[in-house]
Structure 1
Amino acid sequence: MNPDTVSTRVRDGAADPQTPASVTPLRRLTDALAAAMTVPEIAGERCVHARIETARCRACADACPRGAWIVDAEQVGLDTEACDGCELCVPACPEGVIVSRRLRDPEIRSWNDRPAAFRACESAGVAAAVGVVPCLHAIGVVELLRLYRRGVRDWIVSAAPCESCSRGNNPRFQAAIDQTQRLLSSRALPPLTVTVLEPQHWAARAASAAVATDSAVLSRRGFFRKALGVAADAVADSAADADARASFAPATAWLPDAGSNSVQLYQPVIDPHRCNGCDACARLCPHRAIALERSPDGPRYRLDGRLCTGCGICRDVCDQNAASVLALQPQATAAVTLVERQCPACGTTHHRPAATDSDDALCRICARTRRTRLLYQTLD
C-alpha cells in the first residue's frame, strides 16, 4: 500500500452542463478552493502502510461516514469528491497522518478566570468567527490532552442534534472525554469539565469571553508542569502547536507514571511463550513503545504504554502472533526478560524470552529450517 497515492486534487472547475452562464470563472475558482479547504492535510510518511506491507489499519476508512477513504491492497487514498471535510478521520488515525488546521486554530479563551476551549459544530448554525469546527466528534483524545497540557480543563461546547446528522450519531466526543478522564483519574490529575450550551447561548458566551493571554496560559501550563513533574519547554510546545506536521509524538507521552495503577490509552503486550525474539516489533515501533534494551542483567524488551499510539505495527508484523495491543487498561508487564544463546548450527548469538528458554539453543532461523540436516562429514 502506498500512502503517496493519496489524492489531493481540487474538484474540476470546468462548467457543468447545468451550470448557469452567470457563474463566472472566478466563482468556479473560489468554489474549487473552498472544496480544497475541506480536504485535510496528509502526512503520508507517517502512515503504517508506508512502514510495513502487512499493516491492517483501517481507522480512517472505518471512521468516514461517506466512504471517502480507500484502503485496499493497492493504495491508501482519499476520494476528494466524496470528502465533505467532517474530519472524523483525524482523531481516528493513530499516527497523526491526517492533519487538521481547523481543529487546532481556534483561540483559547477564558471561562471563570481559567483557560477554556470554546468549540461548536458547524451545523449548529452559530455565527462566530472562531471556535466553530467541522464536527464536535472530530475532537479526540489527542486534542483533549494537547490542550490539557496547555492548561485547558474546561470545554464549552454546542452542537446540532446528532440524531438527524448525515455524518452519523456516534457519540465519539463523549467517548473521547470518558477515555481522557480515565487517563487523568488513574494519575490523580484534575478532571476535564464539559459545559454544553444551546447554540445561541454558546455564541453569546464565546463572543463575551476574553481571549486567554499567553501569560495566563503559560502560567497555568507551568502549574501543570510542576504538578506533573513534566520537563517540557514552552518554546517547543508553541512550535509543535504551530506546525502539526513538524513531528508526531504520542499524546500520552508526557503523562506522569503513577505505577501499576496508571491506565494507558494503548499499550503493547508480548506473549513470552509465543515470542521467538526476532526483534521485528522493537525495530519497527515508530515511538519505541517496544524497545530492545541491554543491561548488565542481560537483554530485555521494554514496554511503555505512554509511548504507544495503538497503531498495531507490532501486532501486524509479528509472524508468531506474540504481540498485541491493549486499550484503556492498567500498565501490564513492563518488560520481557530475554536470554542470550549461541546457535550450535550457525554460530550466531541470538536471544529469546526466558520463559521459553530450553536446551535447544538453535536460533530461530536454524530452528525453522533445520540446516543441520544438510551437514555431512568428509572422511579422509
Structure 2
Amino acid sequence: MAALENFISVISSLDSEALRVVPERCVQVRHKGAKCLRCAEVCAAGAISYDGEDVIIDGEECIGCGTCATACPTCALEAVHPADAELSAALAERVAAGDEIVVACARALSRARRRAEEAAEAASGLLRRAPVDFDASRILQVVCLGRLDESFYAECAARGVSAVTLAGDSCETCKYHRGGKLAREAADSAGALLDAHGCEFERSFVSPLPPRCYEGGAAAGALDFDPAKRATIATLREMTAAAAKEAAADALALGAEKEEEPEARYVKVSEDGTLPQFVPVRRNRVMNSLRRVGEPVRDEVTCRLWGQVSIDTDACTSCRMCATFCPTGAITRFQDEDGAIGVDHRPYRCVQCRLCEDICMTGALSVSDAVSLDDFEHGRVHHIPMDPPAWTPNKPDSIFTKMNQVIGGEHNSFF
C-alpha cells in the first residue's frame, strides 16, 4: 500500500466540482492496515483502481457519478453534483407537487432523447433532429443511479412516498455498469431497513425512461410524447461538462491570486489518545427518516450501513487500538475510578468500515452486518470490560516487561 502521505495526496486529487474529498475520514488514511478499497471496487469510470500495491486515482477520468460516495462507509467522499442537500430539496419539490418520484441516469435520458428525435424525424419526414421536452418536474436527474444511497430512499418513505421508479438504460451493458450494481445493493439495503420498520416501499428499476416522463399529445404515438415540442433540456452529462468548463475558466482567471494549498498532513491524535471521530451527516439523515417512518417491527436487520462488533475477550490483549482508530466513536475507551478498563460499543454509530477488524493483531474482534434494532433505535451501549494489560506502555521498562512476558521461562536470562 502506498505511504500515508502519498495516499492523502492521491485521494485528495479527486476533489473537484463534482466530488468533495475529506481525507481524514478515509480509513486508509487513519491506519495503513485498513483493507477497505470500496471506492476502487465500485468506481464506475475506473478513475480509482488498485494494482495490488498502490491505489491509483486518475482525476481526469472521474465523471462525478457519485458511486464512490455511496460506497464509502465513512463519507470521506461526498457527491457534489448534485449534493445530498440539492437532491433532498428536489425530492421535496416533487413530493409537494404530487408527482410520482422518478430518478433517471444520464445515459437513460440521452438514449430516450435520441429515440424521441428519431421518431419525430420519421413522423415529420424532415432530415433534422427535433429536440424533446422532458418534464423536469417529473424527473430527478443523476449521472448514475449508483449515486442514490439509503438516505434517499429513507427520506422518500419519511415524506410519504410509497414507490420510486429508477430509470436506467441496460445497466449490464453500460460502460459504467458497476454503478448500476451498487444502485441495486443500496436499494435492497434501504428496503431491508424500511421493511424492518413496517414500511412497504417499492423500488422499480426500468429501462428505458417511463412514458409518463414525456409530455403527452396527439402526435406522441407509441412513445407517448409530442415530437412537435421545441423546448430543449441538456442531460446531466452535458450540464456537468458545462459546469466543468466554467470552473476551469474561473480557475484560470483566479490562478494568479490563488494561494498555494498546504501540504497534506497526518491525522492528529487528540488528548485522549484517539484520532478525531465524527458521525456522517448522511447517517443522521437515515436515522431521522426511519424514526419518522415508525417503530421497528423486527428484532434484527441486516444491511450494509450498520455493524455489530463482537470481541473475544480471551484473545484480546486490551490494547484498545480499535477505540483509538474507530472513525465514528462506535468503539470508545473507558477507565473507571477503581481501575477497571475496557471499551464501550455503540452499534448505532458503527458504519461497518471494518477498520477495527482489520487492525486487531490477535483477531479478537469481528464485525457482523446483522444489528439489533433495539440497540439501533434506542442508542444502546455495550459495556465490554477487559483485563488490565500486564505491562504499561510508554514506561522506561515497557519493552523489557512486554518481551519478558512474551518469551518467559528460562529465556528470562536474556534480559
Which category of TM-score, normalised to the shorter sequence, fits these structures? 0.5 to 0.7
TM-score of the pair, normalised by structure 2? 0.58
Equivalent-residue separation in structure 2 for 1:336 and 1:168 (angstroms): 43
Alignment correspondent of 1:270:
311
What corresponds to 1:6 in structure 2?
11
Out of 153-162 and 257-266, give the one that drifted further: 257-266
Identity %: 21
* Aligned residue among 116, 140, 143 for 1:134: 143
Q: How do 1:82-231 and structure 2 match up within 5 A?
A: 82-103=61-82, 104=84, 105-106=86-87, 107-108=90-91, 109-110=93-94, 117-125=101-109, 127=134, 129=136, 131-145=140-154, 148=157, 154-168=163-177, 170-188=180-198, 190-195=199-204, 199-204=209-214
Which of 326, 338, 347 is the aligned partner of 2:385? 338
Q: Is the Cα contact below 8 Å between 1:70 and 1:77 reproduced in 2?
A: yes
User: Would you say 1:62 and 2:41 are equivalent positions?
Assistant: yes
Q: CA deviation at 1:348?
A: 11
CA shift, 1:200, in A, is 4.9
Contact 2:50/2:56 (<8 A) preserved: yes
Q: Answer yes or no: is the 8 Å Cα contact 2:279–2:349 preserved in 1.
A: no
Letter in 2 for 1:99: E
> Is residue 2:412 matched to residue 1:373?
yes
TM-score, scaled to structure 1: 0.63
Query: Secondary structure of 1:81's partner?
Result: helix
8 Å contact from structure 1 (residues 270, 336) kept in 2: no
Would you say the 8 A contact 1:3–1:77 is kept in 2?
Answer: no
Q: Work out the CA distance in 2 between the residues paired with 1:132 and 1:275.
A: 49
Q: Which runs of 5+ in 2 are unaligned?
A: 113-133, 216-277, 396-400
Contact 1:250 1:287 in 2 (8 A): no
Go from structure 1 to structure 2 and tell me whether the alpha carbon gap of 1:258 and 1:336 turns closer, same or farther (over 3 Å shift): farther
Pairwise CA RMSD of aligned residues?
4.2
Contact 1:121–1:132 under 8 Å retained in 2: yes
- How far apart are residue 50 of structure 1 and its match? 1.3
Note the alpha carbon deviations across 1:189-209, whole angstroms, 9 max, x for none.
x2323355652535248xxxx
Amino acid at match of 2:328: H
Gaps of 5+ in 1: 11-35, 206-245, 350-362
- In the alignment, which residue of structure 1 is the partner of 2:358? 316
Query: Is the aligned partner of 1:281 residue 2:313?
Result: no
Shift of 1:314: 0.3
Any idea what the Cα deviations from partners look like across 1:258-289, whole Å, max 9, x if unmatched?
59813253312222232111111012111121
Q: Shift of residue 58 of structure 1?
A: 0.7
Q: Aligned partners of 1:6 and 1:171: how far apart in 2?
A: 23
Structure 1 distance, partners of 2:345, 2:282, is: 14
C-alpha distance in structure 1 between counterparts of 2:402 and 2:381, whole Å: 24
Structure 1 residues 104-156: Cα deviation after superposition (integer angstroms, max 9, x where no partner) = 32301445976874311111125355611011133122443455556655423
Alignment size in residue pairs: 297
Q: Counterparts of 2:36 and 2:329 in 1: how far apart (Å)?
A: 19
Say whether the 8 Å CA contact 2:166–2:204 is kept in structure 1: yes
In the aligned structure 2, how far is the partner of 1:276 from the partner of 1:137? Answer: 41
| Aligned equivalents of 1:340, 1:9: Cα separation in 2 | 44
Call closer, same or farther: CA 1:250–1:302 in 2, change over 3 Å. farther
Q: Is the 8 A contact 1:86 1:134 kept in 2?
A: yes
Higher relative contact order (CA 8 A, sep 6+): 2
